[in-house]
Amino acid sequence: MFYQLAINFCILFTFSVLSYWPFQDRVRFRIPFPRLHPILIGMMAGVTGLFLLGASVTISDGVIVDARLPVIILSGVFGGPASPLISALIIGIDRIMLGGFSGEALIAGSNTLLIGAVAALIFMWRGASFRTARFVFHYAAVQTGLVIIYLLPAGSNMVMNVSIFALYSYISFFTITFILAELSGHFKKLSGIERLSRTDYLTGLHNSRTFGELSEALLTGDRPVSLILLDIDRFKSVNDTYGHPAGDEVLRELAFRLKNFRLPEGAILSRNGGEEFSALLPGTDKQEAAAAAESIRRAVGDNPFILDSGLSLTVTVSLGVSAHPEDAAGTKELYELADEALYRAKNSGRNRVAVHGTTQPVS
């Protein structure tokens, strides 16, 4: 019996890890159609239940022990309320069929269906988490234990059989819960590291690496893509006069204003390094980008930056604009031309917008 229970647990462990891993490790896996994930997880848990039923241990006529409860409940952690409903439906129907539609099988199968329904309601009420799963499991274990007591024939060792069920269910559930919780935490850390590697830590905007990747992906075909490069004027004097913490506040405030500025739809904002920022504008021609750059210049220069210390600073920016495919075919050339226009704006007195292909700054 214990050998069979060990096999049952191995099935639970294998299917749980293999089923949930791809949905949680979003750094290396990108499973399409995320709205269908709860259905897929529920179906995977249901298939796992079929294998568990096939490797179940008979403790009395019509009464079997397996790890179906953990797999139904854990599906709700990763798939939400829909998953335990689906998995319980698959497992419950199979339990009834496995018992030949006998009275015991109908009761056991109905118990599984009821647990799935109640689990769905509780996950909907309290949220999909391991804490909620533990709450659901205690309920399911008590209910199933009562069902086993009811189904056990007279003269059977009730205490022994119920103890075997309870001990095995609790050990398997909490062991798998611990392992999956550790994996889930590990995947969240990986996701956070991946996000940090693609995001500027100070402003929350894309970093230069992500800017390069996104611009390479956008600059294909003849669809217009414009680039605005902007640089804070005399930023070094801010650091020298007020200190680097004040300079960091200025950078964060500029990023905040850019994120809340009404740029053309699909704009991609990045901090390319130091005090230089960029805005990639897919589907925007150079004339529209120049107008957006001028609006940014005015919005920054006309509204003082108020630091946490109460200090009010007037900050201005210089901007350069270039466009694909009008000016450049590739990312490197697009950036270099916008950079040239930016420095022309700087050399023309700062607080200016310069557009590649024109001889004078816009303003």
CATH at residue 172? 1.10.1760
Annotated active-site residue in 275, 276, 288, 326: 275
36 lies in the same domain as 175:
yes
Bridge partners (DSSP) of residue 354 are: 320
Query: In terms of residue numbers, what domain contains 139?
Result: 2-198
d(CA 79, CA 19): 11
213 is catalytic: no
Closest CA relative to residue 230, chosen from 354, 313, 363: 354
Alpha-carbon Rg for the chain, nearest whole angstrom, is 31
126 lies in the same domain as 184:
yes
192 lies in the same domain as 215:
no
Domain boundary among 156, 176, 198: 198
Residue 60, both tokens: 């009395």
CATH at residue 221? 3.30.70.270
Residue 69 belongs to a domain:
yes
* DSSP structure string for 32-87: S-GGGHHHHHHHHHHHHHHHHHHT-EEEETTEEE-SHHHHHHHHHHHH-THHHHHH
Split into its structural domains, the chain has a count of 2
pTM above 0.85, yes or no: no
174 lies in the same domain as 230:
no
Q: Per residue of the chain (363 residues), what is the pLDDT tens digit?
A: 666 778 878 877 877 777 666 666 554 556 667 788 889 889 988 988 888 888 877 777 667 788 889 989 988 988 899 999 999 999 999 999 988 888 888 999 999 999 999 999 999 999 988 899 999 999 999 999 999 888 887 777 888 888 888 888 898 889 888 887 787 777 777 666 666 678 998 999 999 989 998 999 898 878 899 999 999 999 999 999 999 999 999 999 999 999 999 898 899 999 999 999 999 999 999 999 999 999 999 999 999 999 988 899 999 999 999 999 999 988 999 999 999 999 999 999 999 999 998 766 555
Residue 223 belongs to a domain:
yes
